[in-house]
Amino acid sequence: MRNIHIKLEHIAYLVVACIIPIGTVSPKALVLMLGVAVVTFLSLNRDVLIITLRRSRQYFAYFLPLLLIGLASSIWSLEFTLSLSLAMKLISLVAIGCVVIAAVWELPSRIVDTLRRAIHLGVVLAGALLVFEVATSGWLYRTFRGYAWEQVIFEPTGGINLDAPIKSGITVISIFVWCLFGNKRGGVVLAICVFVLVLVLAWKCGATASLVALLLGLAAALMARLALRSVLILVSITFCLSVVAAPFAIHAALKNITPSTINAQIGNSGLPLSGMNRLIIWKFTSQKILEKPLLGRGLRTSRVLPSGGEKYDIVRARENGTLEVISRDFFIPLHPHNQSLQIWLELGALGAVSFALAAGVLILMIGRLPIQRSQSGWLIGAIVTLMVYGQISFGAWQNWWIAGQFLSVGLLLITLSSHRGSEK
């Protein structure tokens, strides 16, 4: 029996060590890795399976109101099938994520020590992979996709964007790098080095969202070490207000933003081009929200919203007086790149309030977790990083992003928590 346990521990070590490097190279694989993680953790928790599932139901209850509103939205949705299929997928994905978080608490200390080493190794390997990709202009990405340099630099079609996969990799490692701060055996120097490395890569590659998310997360983590309860309350209230007030505040702040006014600011604004596009997208989305604010237009309808598929141009003047189109994008390219606006647009005030309340309560619960007070700040830093990404970069329902959030929190809890399940 002991030999079987040793084999399971070895398998678990390999699985956990591979999660972060694989996700860094291929973020969409995080959905698969979430499934592999739940099977692995439940295998290690066979003797307390019922307890684990009961705990997961408690976590799932916080997400249930929002999920039920999403399911019900298929009734009034612009696309019934689109909304219904996504609702069922989200219910399954969130349920699996909750089981992963619940299983973490029941892992015995002996196995946790093994998994901590695997997590630290995974973060370091992911950092090495990113450095290699940046230094070789995406060699792994080009090789696995079978892209020759002729395709990459093919001018008639604009070539292949090699920055996007590297920026995605930076995003992935930035939500897992917090796991290194749970290393109490002289690992603080390693954690700081890797954290700085990620910041440098984000700056070098123009990953502005990653820079903002990491720096705000770090600020929250350091403040939490001084005043944990106050920071928890501040983060919870700030996030709830940002969700509930999002469409009204953005509509008021961006009332004068149009493609024409953006064009006039080219060269005079400190915003990157992606940031300028975000402003136009958010202005358009806020207008559509105010047209139907109570129930929204149905889950996943951002991508089929009337007039959302129309394009706008951002142009700049050449020295000879002619105009050059430097960006052409949809008013809503699949989603608004802001989870609060997307929830408002698709699920209305009902969904937004439900989401805000669930998130606010879960943030406050951090103070009750069996984590040393000095370590809780790193969890808050990770949560703030996730929140910032959600507000400026990703869609609310992107499968890989949801899976990545559950995995990052689950692995971080393994490295931080002090109370463990019974030894087996």
Flag whether pLDDT at 5 surpasses 70: no
> Strand, coil or helix: what is 321?
coil
Task: Return mean pLDDT, the chain.
Answer: 86
Look at residue 424 in the predicted model and tell me its pLDDT. 42
Name the least confident of 12-16, 106-110, 151-155, 169-173: 151-155
Residue with tokens 């799932």: 60
pLDDT digits (tens, 9 = 90+) for 391-416: 998 889 999 999 999 999 999 999 98
37, two tokens: 């993680």
Flag whether pLDDT at 36 surpasses 50: yes
Flag whether pLDDT at 267 surpasses 90: no
Percent of the chain with pLDDT over 70: 85
- Which whole-number Å values give the CA distances from 166 to 20, 26, 27, 301, 354, in the listed order? 14, 10, 10, 29, 34
Look at residue 142 in the predicted model and tell me its pLDDT. 78
Q: 127 with 62: CB under 8 angstroms? A: no
Flag whether pLDDT at 138 surpasses 50: yes
Flag whether pLDDT at 266 surpasses 60: no
Look at residue 271 in the predicted model and tell me its pLDDT. 63
Residue with tokens 């808050």: 380
Look at residue 140 in the predicted model and tell me its pLDDT. 84
82, two tokens: 């689109």
Look at residue 335 in the predicted model and tell me its pLDDT. 84
Domain-wise residue ranges, the chain: 2-227+396-416
Look at residue 156 in the predicted model and tell me its pLDDT. 47
What DSSP string describes 141-192? HHHHHT--HHHHT-GGGT---SHHHHHHHHHHHHHHGGGGGG-TTT-HHHHH
pLDDT digits (tens, 9 = 90+) for 155-205: 444 456 678 889 999 999 999 999 998 766 656 888 999 999 999 999 999
Look at residue 332 in the predicted model and tell me its pLDDT. 80
Look at residue 278 in the predicted model and tell me its pLDDT. 83
Look at residue 261 in the predicted model and tell me its pLDDT. 67
> Strand, coil or helix: what is 314?
strand
Residue 226 or 314, more confident: 226
Flag whether pLDDT at 109 surpasses 90: no
Strand partners, 327: 314
Look at residue 422 in the predicted model and tell me its pLDDT. 46
Query: How far, in Å, CA of 169 to CA of 378, rounded?
Result: 21
As a whole number, mean pLDDT of residues 33-38 equals 96
As a whole number, mean pLDDT of residues 297-304 equals 88
- Which whole-number Å values give the CA distances from 90 to 352, 387, 424, in the listed order? 16, 19, 34
Model pTM score: 0.90
Confidence of residue 298 (pLDDT cuts 50, 70, 90): very high
What type of residue is 213?
Answer: A
Torsion sign (Cα): 203, 208, 214, 217: positive
Residue with tokens 């991508």: 303
Look at residue 202 in the predicted model and tell me its pLDDT. 94
Flag whether pLDDT at 17 surpasses 60: yes
Confidence of residue 151 (pLDDT cuts 50, 70, 90): low
Residue 69 or 188, more confident: 69
Q: 392 with 336: CB under 8 angstroms? A: no
Look at residue 350 in the predicted model and tell me its pLDDT. 96
Q: 204 with 167: CB under 8 angstroms? A: no
Q: H/E element holding 119?
A: helix 109-135
Flag whether pLDDT at 59 surpasses 80: yes
Cβ partners under 8 Å of residue 81, min gap 6: none
Burial of 327 (0-12, 13-18, 19+ CB in 10 A): middle
